[in-house]
Amino acid sequence: MSHPKRLPRYHTGQGISSIFQVTDREFSSQKQSLSDTSYFNIHLSMCRIWNDRTDGIWLYVEQAVASSLNKPYRQRVYKLTHTGPDEFSSEIFTLKNAKDVIGLAADASKMQLLQFEHIEAKNGCTVILKRNGSVYTGGTQGTDCSSDLRGAAYATTKITLVMGNSFRGIGI
């Protein structure tokens, strides 16, 4: 992949910063799994990577069953961009060296192992979010996001982010 191109001013505006505030965190479904046994206790961590890039906000994302944090079932890189005044995109990338960076969010020394040339775009999996007032809604388009997780042919994503007070500006 080539050097990043500089984005228009709105690509780094307040909206993308607000979305990023909620994504640079760790999440757990432990409470939900304790109150409803049909849910697993899933741990998700996200951290910002490649701060020097000017073509968007880049995140490393890891998802694992809480009892097996060292064996995540999903590792991805997300590229967040502000594509228009009220629209954002999250491009999804897989990692060629995923095993090398397990636990990266908690171990900054692994950052050197995550190189730009080690990622590949996951075509058809880009998430588009549109803002309407204080609510962002969107998801993937169609059935082009291929998946083999638990026998699936494709994956779809639907997201709703609501501005609130629970996470210093954004609540889910």
Distance CA 163, CA 172 (A): 8
Rounded to two decimals, what is the model's pTM?
0.78
The number of beta carbons lying within 10 Å of the beta carbon of residue 52 is 6
Mean pLDDT of 129-137: 87
DSSP SS3 for 6: coil
Residue 167, pLDDT above cutoff 50: no
Domain coordinates in residue numbering, the chain: 9-171
Mean pLDDT of 4-23: 48
Q: Give residues with Cβ within 8 angstroms of 7, minimum separation 6.
A: 54, 55, 56, 81, 82
Distance CA 108, CA 91 (A): 23
Query: For the segment 65-81, what is each residue's pLDDT rounded down to a tens digit?
Result: 999 999 999 999 999 99
What residues does 171 pair with on adjacent strands?
162
How confident is the prediction for the chain on average, in pLDDT? Answer: 81
Query: For the segment 55-67, what is each residue's pLDDT rounded down to a tens digit?
Result: 988 999 999 999 9
What CATH number has the domain spanning 9-171?
2.40.128.590
The number of beta carbons lying within 10 Å of the beta carbon of residue 76 is 20
Confidence band for 96, pLDDT divided at 50, 70 and 90: very high
Q: What is the pLDDT of residue 150?
A: 78
